[in-house]
Structures are given as C-alpha cells and as structure tokens.
Chains A and B, each alone.
Chain A
Amino acid sequence: MAGLKENLIIEFQDLEEIIYLLQNVSEYDLSGYSKSSLKRRVERFLQVQNMDIVDLKNTIINVKDFQHYFIQELVVNVTEMFRDPHFYVSLKKNVIPYLKTYPQIRLWSAGSSTGEEAYSTAIVLNESEILERSFIYGTDISPRALDIARKGVYPLSKIKSYTENYLQTQPTSDFSSHYTAMYDAAIINKEYRNKVLFSTHNLVTDNAFNEFQLIMCRNVMIYFDKELQRRVLNLFYDSLSLFGFLCLGSKESLYAHDIKNNFKVIDKQYNIYQKIK
C-alpha cells in the first residue's frame, strides 16, 4: 500500500513499554494479553496511523483521551451472527431444555463486541419460546463496539453469510423475519433489541455484577495469557448459578485449568460446560 511502511515490526521490549505506559496513564491493563497477538495489533495500528514507536509513546503520555481510541483499535472486534452454527444446534439440544426450567433466565455475552452473538442468542431463545422470560447482558471493553451493538444495525452485505450460518442451525423460521432491511443495512427487530442490555465491562479489572444461568465468552480468552484466563474463568465461575452453563469458543477449553473440576463437559467439541459444584 502506497505511503504505508511495509512490514513494520517492533521489539517485544517496546511492547512492554507501551503496556507499562498505558497502565500509568489509564485504567487499561494489557499485561495479561498474549504478546505476539497484541504486538501485531500495535504494529497494525502504527502502520495505519503512519506513526513510529516513539510517536506512539509520546502520544500515550501527552494526548488526553488518546488511550480510549488506542484501546478500541487494539482489541479485536471481528464477529458474526451464528458463528460456528453447530454450536447453536448444540445449545438448542443440550442447554435450552435445561434453561426452560427456570422462571427467569439471565444470560451474559462477555466480550460481546458489536452484538452479533447476543442477538443470535436472542433469536435462538425466541425460537425456543423462552425469550419472554430471558434477559441478555452484553458487555465489552470497547464503547464504540457497544454503540454499534445497541443500534443493532448491520451492513446488508454481511447478511448473506449470516443467513448461510443461520440455515445450518436447524432454524424454525426464516432469517429475514428477524430483521428489517433498509437501503444497505439491516436492523435487528426491536423484540430482540429490547431484550439485550449492552454496557462496558473490563474482564481484566472488573468483577462479577450479577448471577447468570448462561455465560458465553467465545473467542475472547484466546487473546489472554494463561494467568489472565484463570482470573476470567474464576470470574465466570463466581457469576454462574449452580448448574449454570459456560460456553467458550470452538478452539478454547477448560482443559488446562484446575477450575475444570467444578464443571461438567456438556459438549466437548463446542466447549459447553455446566457448573456442578
């Protein structure tokens, strides 16, 4: 790309300094993030902004509120509706029948990003006829992602692949019945938007805020190192009711963590667990 420095690579030491500076000037603590992944994000940021590492350090220290913008650009906000469709099939088969036994159901989509996963879940709850008594909390570290999530408006260009995903979830309705298309965008139906509350929550520093029957946190902990993963898993454990469910991403598992002893494996392939003690 013209004008961009190609293959800009920074040292791990520089990354440590960036992390340290951010800790000093803000509430953001990136010290528990996977280093190579985070370093690539910083390099990408520098490339897009046409900055070098010295500029970045100066800006973090001297420019007010820069850290909020920086953090939004660093965290990965890539998501989609019904990602891993077979996960939703398993959810319907193995989890929903259990949730149906509760008079009120609280769910937490942790690291909800721009909201696609929370809305996908709301659609599944509606198909299972328990949306009425359910409520979903969507939380993320990025206020900008949450703004998009609250609006529930997604580019029409993405709806095709979302529809393909949806068709693999053994749906009982048409995907098009869950949104309204206008010009080049689709807005998720109000019945779903009313059932999700989006707010900021930082998994690194914040604590439990409610008790849930189901927590989903898919493809979030892959960005954390083992120590931070342990903290977050403890937070989820504390936030789950007994016999509540924890859903992780398809390449994440509890297997390396002691807390697995407090959970029963419900679906090994799609990493669904139930808190049993």
Chain B
Amino acid sequence: MQLASNIILIGGSAGSYTLIAELLEQLPSYFDTAICIVLHRNRQYDTQIEKSLSRKLKKNIVSAFDKLDICKNHVYFAPAGYHLLIEPDFTFSIDSSEHINYSRPSIDVLFETAAQIYKEKCTAFLLSGANTDGAKGLRIIEEFGGRIIIQDPEVAPIRTMPLAGKRETLNPEIWTDSKIVSYFNTLN
C-alpha cells in the first residue's frame, strides 16, 4: 500500500451522515488520495458505521488507529472517543485528551494537524452540524494553503456548522450536495 500525497478531509455532525454515505457510495473503484472523516457520534456505537459501509460498498473503509500509515485509495474514520491527528511521518496518531467543542473526536483537531502536514495538498469539507466544531480548523487549512469547501448552509439539514465555517474563513467554496457528490464521483 502506498502513502497518499493528497488528503481529503470531511467533518460532519448532526445531519451529515446521509450525505457522507452517499458520497462514499459514489467513489470510483480506485482513487489516488486518502479520505479521512470525523463524524461526531456516540462512543457506544464505536466502529459499526465503518464496518457496515465497508461491507456494503466493498471499499477500504476502516476505523483509523494509532500509528497507521495514511494510504491512497483508503477511507478512514476517526475512532469514537478519541481525537485523530496526523503526524509528520504521514501516520495517524490518536489522543484521548480533553473534548474540544464538546467533541471527541473533534473536527478542529484533525483539520488543524492535517493542514500543517499536507499544506496545499489538503482539501477539506465541512458539512451539516449543530455546533461550531471544524470552523477554526478550516481557517488553519486555508492559512496553510489548502482548499476549503463548505456545504451550502441553505441545503444543510442543520446549518450551524457550515455557517460557523463561513464566518471563520476568508474564501471558502460553498457547494450544493450534488456538487459535493459529483466531486467524489470523479475523483481519480
């Protein structure tokens, strides 16, 4: 398995799961990037989402764990109950420090650490959610030269998180659901 030189990050909370499932379903059979997702969820449900998606879609969809290499053609979910971080040697690390924005995993933590490692090779999506996690992380990705995309608050089931993302950043791209899905569909 080859290390990915590009990374796509997705942060979502309440109201984002359906879109995440849909865009994963639309992924081509091979893509040259790593996709990494923080989805706020209850710790008790642990890895069921990855397991069922992986079974259904027959793709490399896994729960990230400590010191795992970040590879092309893989989708990683932040494990429930831990922050997910990216290390300078292009591996994951996990951390059970304090909740950020009442969340662990926190979208900000992943975004902020990925920004500094992948710089302009980092693309991030911030989706529906009822809190403001991810907004600061988006700004840091922007500062480090990455590309930032926010789900159109007008179509997001819960717009608090996309709105916070817009407020916090300078030049985010605002995309509809269909544009987001087609982006993943045409990844190569």
Chain A residues packing against B (C-beta within 8 Å): 6-7, 9, 12, 34-37, 40-41, 76, 78, 219, 221-223, 225-226, 229, 251-253, 256
Query: How many positions in chain B have a CB within 8 Å of any CB in the partner chain?
Result: 23
With a CB–CB cut-off of 8 A, which chain A residues contact B93? 34, 36-37, 222-223
- Cα-based distance from A231 to B172 in the complex (angstroms): 45
User: Beyond the given A6-B136, A40-B97, A229-B67, could you list 20 further A-B residue pairs with CB under 8 A, ordered by the A residue number?
Assistant: A7-B139, A9-B112, A9-B116, A9-B140, A12-B88, A34-B85, A34-B93, A36-B85, A36-B87, A36-B93, A40-B95, A40-B109, A76-B97, A78-B96, A222-B94, A251-B65, A251-B82, A252-B65, A252-B66, A253-B65
Instruction: Select from chain B the residue with minimum beta-carbon distance to A164.
Output: B44
B94 CB contact (under 8 Å) in A225, A251, A253: A251
Q: Which chain A residues border B79 with CB–CB below 8 Å?
A: 251
Known: A40-B113, A251-B66. A219 touches B87 (CB 8 A): no
- Bound form: Cα–Cα A76–B95 in Å: 9
Residue numbers in B under 8 Å from A9 (CB-CB): 112, 116, 140
Q: A219 CA to B81 CA in the complex, in Å?
A: 11
Task: Kindly list the 4 A-B residue pairs having the minimum CB-CB distance in the complex, ordered from nearest.
Answer: A34-B93, A76-B97, A36-B85, A36-B113
Taking the closest CB of chain B, its distance from the CB of A149, in whole angstroms, is: 17
Q: How far is the CA of A41 from the CA of B96 in the complex (A)?
A: 12
Check B161 for interface membership: any CB of A closer than 8 A.
Answer: no
- Shortest CB-to-CB span from B122 to chain A, Å, is 14
Q: Is A36 a contact partner of B98 (Cβ separation < 8 A)?
A: no
30 A-B Cβ contacts within 8 A? Answer: A7-B112, A7-B136, A9-B112, A9-B116, A9-B140, A12-B88, A34-B85, A34-B95, A36-B88, A37-B97, A40-B95, A40-B97, A40-B113, A41-B97, A76-B95, A76-B97, A78-B96, A221-B66, A222-B66, A222-B93, A222-B96, A225-B67, A229-B67, A251-B65, A251-B66, A251-B79, A251-B82, A251-B94, A252-B66, A256-B67
Kindly provide the distance from the CB of B32 to the nearest chain A CB, expressed in whole angstroms.
24
**In the complex, B86 has a CB within 8 A of chain A:** yes
A7 to B140, CA, bound (A): 8
**Which residue of chain B has the shortest Cβ distance to A251 in the bound complex?**
B65
**What residues of chain B lie closer than 8 Å to A7, measured between beta carbons?**
112, 136, 139-140
Which residues in B have their C-beta under 8 angstroms from that of A253? 65
- Give the residue name and chain of the A residue nearest to B115 (CB): A9
Residues of B55-81 whose CB lies within 8 A of A: 65-67, 79
A256 vs B98: C-alpha distance in the bound complex, in angstroms? 27
B44 to chain A, nearest CB (A): 9
Q: Are A34 and B87 in contact (CB under 8 A)?
A: yes
Closest to A33 in B: B93
A78 to B95 Cα, complex, angstroms: 10
Please, which residues of chain B bring their CB within 8 A of the CB of A34? 85, 87, 93, 95
Contact between chains at B96 and A40 (CB < 8 Å) = no
Kindly name the residue among B66, B85, B87 whose own CB sees the greatest number of chain A CB atoms within 10 A. B66
- Assuming the contacts A9-B140, A252-B66, A256-B67, asked whether A37 and B85 have C-beta atoms less than 8 A apart, the reply is yes
Q: How far is the CA of A41 from the CA of B113 in the complex (A)?
A: 12
Q: A252 CA to B98 CA in the complex, in Å?
A: 19
B85 to chain A, nearest CB (A): 5
Question: Bound state CA distance, A223 and B93, in angstroms?
Answer: 8
A residues less than 8 Å from B136 (CB atoms): 6-7
Indicate if the CB atoms of B88 and A35 lie closer than 8 Å.
yes
B109 cross-chain contacts in A, Cβ below 8 A = 40
Residues of B within 8 A of A40 (CB): 85, 95, 97, 109, 112-113
Contact residues in A for B139 (Cβ distance below 8 Å): 7
